[in-house]
């Protein structure tokens, strides 16, 4: 079986744990069966492998998320990189052509397109496997999964099936409604559209060529920034006549806000925090190495990270995005394929960063034209290469690199260092990469 997982998002609704490169699906806030915290993408990836072993899983994402994905899923994860954001139809078209032209997947093979971040149980993916079998048997050109609504929500589009059978042809689609219309749709047997699409690969290859003028995956990639921003629903789903929906009555939750997220968190405190006995329905998620004390707080969310601090009444947290849009600040925390970094201090002509390298990983061999750097090793062991000269490093060692100097570091064990950047023009774009 083939899965395309759509990984997007700007990281605004779950600020300050999320940012422009760390969307909600990368926040490690749920515990797996071993009691280890995992992210939404790790949870979904694990669930697919458990439900459909040996499946081919490809993650369609922007280049800003690649490092986080590799950090959490490993360097061998299959990624289709979008050159820029162009909504779900271009993303699915590019991923489909990637499967077809790069990976050599047959046009008769079935593909399931799913969001990367639903909070679901294993039955969700078992149902998707059922849908793939339906597609394999030519049940319809396009199959959808519809969630049986639990309340009249304004957040989702609605699918109106022809019958109440488990699998039904689709009668029509409805846009996100107000509560009154949502109630009417539900009384008519409507289902929530959860963004799951199943088809034979050849179907989307054909649709992509019908809608977009291109020759193959590589040509589509080169033209990607010229493509119209349009959703898969508008471009394909709502125009398809041979389409069916399978209803899903199991557990499903779209954790798009702090309010919905805290409904699934198994504990009230993650990180260093104390709640006094008068706190009620209060959650603290603290990524800082300092304690948070809450007293007498009710129905409240407190979240603290290098990006900032949020204190919000639960129901108010859904309107966070417009306020976060007005905050001007660079990314203060990011996961990389080799580890992670946290900005400790930022001044006009200096920046201080704590860097963690995972064992067996290294940075690129690189240089900076406009800044000097100083590394102070604080834990772990490894090796540096500075202008071709290799040296072992240990806690307490200090390495100084002037502008233009080529340098990298290898971690033999997990290694932490403090990096001080010094210069008049400190920028993430000031970087040249070299072969070592």
How do residues 252-277 score in pLDDT, each as one tens digit? Answer: 998 888 988 888 888 999 999 999 99
Helices (H) and strands (E) in the chain, counts: 10, 30
> Does residue 173 sit in the same domain as residue 271?
no
Helix %, strand %, coil % for the chain, to 5? 25, 35, 40
- Mean of pLDDT values over 203-207: 96
299 part of a folded domain: yes
191 part of a folded domain: yes
394 part of a folded domain: yes
Residues 6+ away with beta carbon under 8 Å from 284: 268, 269, 270, 271, 273, 275, 292, 294, 302, 303, 304
260 part of a folded domain: no
Q: Please give the pLDDT value at position 155.
A: 85
Q: Which CATH number characterizes residue 399's domain? A: 2.60.120.10
- Number of Cβ within 10 Å of residue 258's Cβ equals 24
Q: Is the pLDDT of residue 11 over 70?
A: no
Give one DSSP letter per residue of 149-178, joined into a string: PSS--SSS-EEEESSSSSEEEEEEEE-S--
> Does residue 314 sit in the same domain as residue 402?
no
> Does residue 203 sit in the same domain as residue 311?
no
Q: Please give the pLDDT value at position 12.
A: 81
- Mean of pLDDT values over 17-39: 88
> Does residue 88 sit in the same domain as residue 175?
yes
Residue 41's H or E segment, with its range, is helix 40-51
- Mean of pLDDT values over 354-378: 97
Nearest CA to 366 among 280, 275, 432, 283? Answer: 432
Q: Please give the pLDDT value at position 220.
A: 97
> Does residue 223 sit in the same domain as residue 316?
no
> Does residue 206 sit in the same domain as residue 274?
no
What secondary structure letter does DSSP report for 209?
H
User: Residue 352: beta bridge partners?
Assistant: 345, 420
Give one DSSP letter per residue of 56-89, joined into a string: EEEEEEEGGGHHHHHHHH-TT-EEEEESS---HH
> Does residue 117 sit in the same domain as residue 136?
yes
333 part of a folded domain: no
> Does residue 237 sit in the same domain as residue 112?
yes
> What is the tens place of the pLDDT at every residue in 384-400?
999 999 999 999 999 99
248 part of a folded domain: yes
The parent domain of residue 34 ranges over: 2-254
| Percentage with pLDDT > 90 across the chain | 82
> Does residue 98 sit in the same domain as residue 167?
yes
Q: Is the pLDDT of residue 10 over 80?
A: no
- Mean of pLDDT values over 81-91: 94
How many independent structural domains does the chain possess?
3
pLDDT band at 283 (very low <50, low <70, confident <90, very high): very high
331 part of a folded domain: no
Instruction: Look at the pTM and tell me if it is higher than 0.75.
Output: yes
> What is the tens place of the pLDDT at every residue in 40-68?
999 999 999 999 998 999 999 998 899 99
> Does residue 37 sit in the same domain as residue 163?
yes
Of 197, 227, 254, the domain-final residue: 254
Of 274, 293, 324, the domain-final residue: 324
- Write the CA distances from 368 to 98, 331, 372, 407, integer angstroms: 34, 19, 8, 9
Instruction: Assess contact for 65 and 43: CB atoms under 8 A.
Output: no
Q: Please give the pLDDT value at position 435.
A: 93
Q: Please give the pLDDT value at position 184.
A: 93
The strand pair at 243-248 and 167-174 is best described as: antiparallel
> Does residue 383 sit in the same domain as residue 280?
no
Instruction: Assess contact for 198 and 112: CB atoms under 8 A.
Output: yes
Distance CA 114, CA 199 (A): 12
What secondary structure letter does DSSP report for 298?
B
Of 220, 254, 288, the domain-final residue: 254
Distance CA 383, CA 162 (A): 65
- Mean of pLDDT values over 138-157: 92
Q: Which CATH number characterizes residue 241's domain? A: 3.90.550.10
- Using DSSP, state whether 124 is helix, strand or coil: helix
63 part of a folded domain: yes
> Does residue 33 sit in the same domain as residue 139?
yes
Higher-confidence residue of 20 and 289: namely: 289
pLDDT band at 328 (very low <50, low <70, confident <90, very high): confident
- Write the CA distances from 74 to 71, 339, 424, integer angstroms: 6, 11, 36
Q: Please give the pLDDT value at position 416.
A: 98
């Amino acid at each position: 079986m083939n899965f395309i997982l759509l990984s997007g998002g700007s990281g605004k609704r779950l600020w300050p744990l999320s940012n422009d490169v760390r969307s909600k699906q990368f926040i490690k806030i749920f515990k797996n069966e071993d009691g280890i915290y995992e992210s939404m993408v790790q949870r979904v990836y694990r669930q697919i492998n458990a439900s459909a072993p040996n499946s081919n899983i490809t993650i369609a994402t922007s280049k800003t998320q690649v490092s986080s994905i590799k950090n959490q899923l490993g360097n061998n994860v299959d990624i289709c990189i979008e050159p820029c954001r162009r909504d779900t139809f271009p993303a699915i078209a590019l991923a489909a052509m990637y499967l077809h032209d790069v990976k050599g997947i047959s046009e008769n093979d079935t593909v399931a397109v799913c969001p990367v971040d639903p909070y679901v149980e294993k039955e969700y993916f078992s149902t998707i496997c059922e849908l793939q079998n339906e597609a394999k048997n030519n049940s319809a050109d396009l199959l959808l999964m519809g969630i049986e609504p639990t309340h009249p929500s304004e957040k989702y589009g609605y699918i109106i099936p022809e019958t109440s059978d488990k699998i039904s042809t689709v009668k029509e689609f409805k846009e996100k409604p107000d509560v009154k219309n949502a109630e009417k749709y539900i009384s008519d047997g409507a289902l929530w559209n959860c963004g799951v699409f199943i088809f034979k690969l050849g179907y989307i290859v054909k649709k992509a060529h019908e809608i977009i003028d291109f020759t193959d995956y590589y040509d589509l990639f080169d033209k990607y920034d010229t493509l119209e921003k349009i959703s898969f629903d508008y471009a394909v789903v709502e125009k398809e006549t041979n389409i069916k929906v399978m209803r899903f009555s199991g557990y499903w939750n779209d954790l798009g806000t702090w309010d919905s997220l805290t409904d699934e968190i198994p504990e009230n405190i993650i990180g260093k925090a104390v709640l006094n006995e008068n706190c009620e329905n209060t959650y603290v998620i603290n990524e800082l190495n300092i304690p948070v004390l809450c007293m007498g707080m009710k129905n409240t969310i407190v979240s603290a990270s290098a990006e900032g601090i949020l204190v919000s009444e639960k129901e108010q947290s859904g309107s966070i995005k417009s306020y976060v849009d007005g905050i001007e600040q660079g990314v203060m925390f990011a996961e990389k394929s080799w580890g992670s970094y946290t900005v400790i201090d930022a001044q006009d002509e200096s920046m201080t960063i704590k860097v963690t390298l995972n064992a067996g990983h290294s940075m690129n061999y690189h240089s900076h034209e406009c800044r000097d750097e100083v590394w102070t090793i604080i834990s772990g062991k490894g090796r540096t290469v500075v202008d071709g000269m290799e040296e072992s490093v240990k806690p307490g060692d200090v390495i100084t690199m002037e502008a233009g100097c080529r340098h990298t570091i290898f971690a033999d064990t997990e290694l932490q260092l403090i990096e001080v950047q010094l210069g008049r023009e400190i920028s993430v774009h000031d970087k040249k990469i070299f072969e070592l």
